[in-house]
Chains A and B, each alone.
Chain A
Amino acid sequence: MTFVFPNEANVTWTVMIVLYPFITGLVAGAFIVSSLFHVFGKSNLKAVARYSLVSAFVFLLFAPLPLLVHLGHPERAFNIMITPNFSSAMAGFGYIYAAYLLLVLLEIWFSLRSEFIARAKGRGLTAWICRVIMLYNLDEDESTKRADFKITRFLAGLGIPLACLLHGYVGFLFGALKANPWWSTPLMFVIFIFSAIVSGIAVIIFHYFVVSWINGWRVDQVCVRTLAKYLWGFMIVAVSLELLEILSLAYKQTEEWEVLRTLIDQKLFFTYIVLQFLILSLIPFLMLGVASLVKLKDRLAYALIWTASTMLLLQVLLMRWNVVIGGQLLSKSLRGFTNYLPGIWDREGLIVAAIIFTLPFGILYVFHRIIPLFPGAVKVRARTNRQAADTTAGIGN
């Protein structure tokens, strides 16, 4: 017979709280890719460097949205900055988020300054927007460009620990909670960061392929293969940490293990064992391994890499689900489970979640209309028009 404390029947942290760490994970991951280029000089990644920085910013703008939807009193949301209680991991959110937002904004300002100035010199709304963004200062020459470069590099470097803090605090928020045996582990901070990087790289690859396919661009082969190698490496670390956590619990078998085992065997078997580990970790691991280690034709490599990226995106989303929802299915009486199915039309339901997730892509498109996100993209065929001949310089080879 299953028993939960009477106040536990309702799950408090819903799909919105699954979505939030997923989005900040995309932010952190995308930012890391951008920093790999700007700080560590990985020039292979030039094709996606600008896109990853801007997408980090856009996702960051939308990150608080699921939280606001979830709060009982969203109009009091600023209390987190007015009276932050710093013994709480969650209190860090206000200031860390603001600081990081400022940092990414500044980095975009500096790294794209030339682009903005070029467009500010015209007429029309776009030009006016660019002038405002530049604070009506369109002065530039070699010396200012050098300054821009240095500042961008500095910010990109500073942003790495800040991104880790922004996403890691979520992991700490869960991992430091002694009351919940599914969440309480020192590894949670690190697991969240590494799986965030995985999701960030995966979303960049995913989106890059999709956008290139839609616009008929040639994909930068070196860039994609480099990204794939990074993705493979980071996912090995992330999944190893996730496995380590559960194996450690299974080995120690302390008091909570009985109910945790039942949680995994019954409530989470499909989403945790089958999906998160077997299908969406093992198969991408093999795919990316093949794509990274074996010399393959571009077409096949791209297919493997894109599929693996999509699967890893889902894997990270599922990992967030299994952690957030799984931990709440479990009763603190250690005697039973409750249930959760997100509503479709609820305020905290699936439709709202889908909207929150797709809006950033819309904003990215608007940004792209002002400043192209993929400079140097080479059009090799007409926009998805098969009849405009797969020319000799077609996609791939």
Chain B
Amino acid sequence: MSDKRWTRRELVKLLAAAPSLLLIRCVPSPQSGEASDYKASEHYWGYAVDTTRCIGCGNCMRACRAENDVSAGFYRTWVERYRVGLDGETQVDVADPETLAFEELSGEVSKAFFIPKLCNHCEKSVCTQVCPVGASIHTPDGVVLVDDKHCIGCGYCVQACPYGSRFIDPHTHTAGKCTLCYHRITKGEEPACVAMCPTGARIFGDLNDPRSKLSTILRQNRYRVLRPEMGTHPKCYYQGLDREVV
């Protein structure tokens, strides 16, 4: 049995034609327009927590849950309580998942405090680095978002976040995390947790604006970030952070 022999010319013609097919979708699509007058390039959002003011009331958790339809058992923001006993042993706990309230615990403490936690919207976020499909988004205004329609739910970002801010949402089966209430901040509002905090423990603002409350606080006070050795450059700044907090 013998083959039909292709002449070299015919073969080259075939191969030359093929790459042109690839050009069909190379023309960029029309711009997805920026709605209204919000210009992402003008802002660079940040967050600060004054840990000396938090009273552990749980309003922030309730507000976030209501604002963002967060599934029960998962948290886009949460509050931790640290109790340092007289023997120097530290106990850490979180609020009850149902009532979002802290239970009263017995035992003498030499020091105790609350630490609100949330996604740090890191400048060099590990979650964005490890997402295999580009579903973790770094917006130009400094917010890290999840593309719910593109995420495949592999869970790599959940493993990669050093702060435990991410989870796989049991309803959407995609990654879930704090969005800094992007739908609010792009309309001039504050995130729900900041707006509902009764003691001003949570502060939100524009790092680009030197006169914003956030910039002023950062200029006037001493602050730290969580796990700076991870090299993630978080944009959530903590005042009064105790050495016990990881």
- Cβ of B152 under 8 Å from chain A: yes
Which chain A residues numbered 128 to 178 have a C-beta less than 8 Å away from chain B?
137-139, 173, 177-178
Distance to closest chain B CB from A189 (angstroms): 16
Stretch from A57-65, A77-85, A279-287, A312-320 forming part of the interface with B: A77-85
**Are A73 and B3 closer than 8 Å at their CB atoms?**
no
B133: which A residues are within 8 A, CB to CB?
Answer: 76, 79-80, 82-85, 91
**CB nearest neighbor in A for B73:** A9
Q: Does B130 contact A (CB under 8 A)?
A: yes
Query: Do the beta carbons of A79 and B163 come within 8 Å of each other?
Result: no
Interface residues of B: mostly helix, strand, loop or mixed? loop
Question: How many residues belonging to B are interface residues under a CB distance threshold of 8 Å?
Answer: 46
Q: Scoring A residues 327 to 348 as 1 if CB is less than 8 Å from chain B, else 0, what string do you get?
A: 1100111110000000000000
B94-A6 in contact (CB<8A): yes
Cα of A93 to Cα of B132 in the assembled complex, Å: 9
Interchain CB contact under 8 A, A179 and B168: no
In the complex, A333→B161 CA distance in Å?
Answer: 12
Which of B73, B97, B132, B162 touches A178 (beta carbons < 8 Å)?
A: B162
Query: What chain B residues lie within 8 Å of A139 (beta carbons)?
Result: 1-3
Would you call B132 and A90 a contact (CB within 8 A)? yes
- A residues within 8 A CB of B23? none
Contact across chains for B132 and A85 when beta carbons are under 8 A apart: yes
Q: Is A7 an interface residue (CB 8 A)?
A: yes
A220 CB, min distance to chain B CBs, angstroms? 37
- Cα A6 to Cα B163 in complex, Å, equals 11
- Indicate if the CB atoms of A333 and B160 lie closer than 8 Å: no
What A residues does B204 contact at CB under 8 A? none
Would you call B1 and A333 a contact (CB within 8 A)? Answer: no
Q: Is A392's beta carbon under 8 Å from chain B?
A: no
Instruction: Give the docked Cα–Cα distance between A335 and B164 (Å).
Output: 13
Q: Which residues of B204-246 are within 8 A (CB) of A?
A: 230-231, 246
A329–chain B nearest beta-carbon distance, Å: 13
Shortest CB–CB separation between residue B229 and chain A, in angstroms? 9
Bound CA–CA A333/B3 (angstroms): 67
Given A88-B129, A177-B130; A138-B1 close (CB under 8 Å):
yes
Which residues of A sit under 8 angstroms from B1, Cβ to Cβ?
A: 137-139
A45: min CB distance to chain B, Å: 35
Shortest distance between the CB of A19 and any CB in chain B (Å):
15
Closest chain A residue to B244 by CB distance? A335
User: Which residues does chain B contribute within 8 Å of A10, judged by CB atoms?
Assistant: 167-168
> Given A91-B133, A177-B130: A77 and B152 within 8 A (CB)?
yes
Is A8 positioned at the interface, with any CB of B under 8 Å from its CB? yes
> Residue A3 at the B interface, CB < 8 A?
yes
Known pairs A85-B134, A179-B161, A328-B159; A3 contacts B152 (CB<8 A):
no
Q: Could you tell me if B154 and A72 are in contact, using CB atoms closer than 8 angstroms?
A: yes
**For residue A178, which residues in chain B have a CB less than 8 angstroms away from its CB?**
126, 162, 230-231
Measured between beta carbons, the chain A residues less than 8 angstroms from B131 are 85, 88
A230 is an interface residue with CB less than 8 A from chain B: no
**Shortest beta-carbon distance from B179 to chain A in Å:** 15
A358 to B135, CA, bound (A): 34
Which of A73, A332, A335 is close to B173, meaning CB atoms less than 8 Å apart? A73
Q: Are B162 and A332 in contact (CB under 8 A)?
A: yes
Q: Which of A12, A80, A331 has the most CB of B within 10 A?
A: A12
Select which of A3, A70, A177 is within 8 A of B159 by beta carbon.
A177
Evaluate contact between A137 and B3: CB separation under 8 angstroms.
yes
Beyond A3-B91, A71-B153, 17 extra complex contacts between A and B, CB < 8 Å: A1-B93, A3-B80, A4-B164, A5-B163, A7-B167, A73-B153, A73-B174, A76-B133, A76-B152, A79-B135, A83-B133, A88-B132, A90-B130, A137-B1, A138-B1, A139-B2, A332-B164
A-B contact pairs, 16 of them (CB 8 A): A1-B91, A1-B92, A4-B164, A5-B78, A7-B74, A13-B159, A70-B155, A72-B168, A73-B151, A76-B150, A80-B133, A83-B150, A91-B132, A178-B231, A333-B92, A334-B246
| Chain A residues close to B by CB (< 8 Å) | 1, 3-10, 12-13, 67, 70-74, 76-77, 79-80, 82-85, 87-91, 93, 137-139, 173, 177-180, 327-328, 331-335
